[in-house]
Chains A and B, each alone.
Chain A
């Protein structure tokens, strides 16, 4: 009996991510869900600009590479072209919460029937570790070398909480992938986000608190601890909106 093997919806190619980067874990979860729901043939994924820009080479379904931050708008077009297709975006914090905030908020407000996978690792990875809209107060990055100072550049944005104030979105949940139980919970959330779309319920966003060992300047192991100790207190896990349950966390 096979306990675990590479999901079919991921191609058998090496990922370009750094050692210990959790993008691969989230890619696997998305692919496992696609496999389990049997939707690979009718799924179209939208890759962002950032570290996961080349996600289009990894997923076995049809893929589109979007301009920086515009994935929800591109997904809107794809979904409106054929609502029977399953459309997901995969975006990082710079892409989704900085340059693409307008596209994110409005896709959510329209309750666009798409699935958004949002990787929050509090840094710009691809460009070499600059401050992100989700970088923590005091966090040292290439562009906040003395630590993020809220007097200079404000406070990190909690995307799930922000979007939960909108009437539109169907489902918002924050998960993480720094341990086996957390990974299992994350998969459940991602599956629900895809199920919601298939059932026509509308916009689902799963925020995955993730790591960047390279630009955080840590071992992969310490990065997992840093998620637990620094990220989760500011970004609490949980369901922020689930319209089908009438659940709105405040």
Chain B
């Protein structure tokens, strides 16, 4: 089982992680705004995560921790 943890407050909502995910696990939360004023990333389909780490590798703000 793969596990994703987000430093949500530091997310800038650029969405690069969303695009790079091969399983379309992530989305920018449409109904949430973090303290920086961005729609932060969230795992919309966490069960589909294969723990490849691509999202974390792409994230410029190192907000994603991936465990497997």
Question: Do A and B share a direct contact in the complex (Cβ within 8 angstroms)?
Answer: yes
A220 pairs with B15, CB closer than 8 A:
yes
Q: Between A and B, how many residue pairs show CB distances below 8 Å? A: 73
The CA of A163 and the CA of B57, in the complex, are separated in Å by: 30
Q: How many residues of A contact B (CB 8 A)?
A: 28
With an 8 A cutoff between CB atoms, is A119 at the interface?
Answer: no
A2 pairs with B66, CB closer than 8 A:
yes
- Bin chain B's interface residue count: 20 to 34
Q: Which residue of B lies closest to A220 (CB)?
A: B14
A4 pairs with B38, CB closer than 8 A:
no
With an 8 A cutoff between CB atoms, is B46 at the interface?
Answer: no
B60 pairs with A1, CB closer than 8 A:
no
Q: Which residue of B lies closest to A17 (CB)?
A: B60
A3 pairs with B56, CB closer than 8 A:
yes
Which one of A14, A23, A179 has the greatest number of beta carbons of chain B within 10 Å?
A: A14
Shortest distance from the beta carbon of A13 to any chain B beta carbon, whole Å: 9
**Which listed residue (A6, A19, A23, A184) contacts B13, Cβ 8 A?**
A19
Taking Cβ atoms with an 8 Å cutoff, the residues of B that contact A are: 2, 9-10, 12-16, 19-20, 36, 38, 51-54, 56-62, 64-68
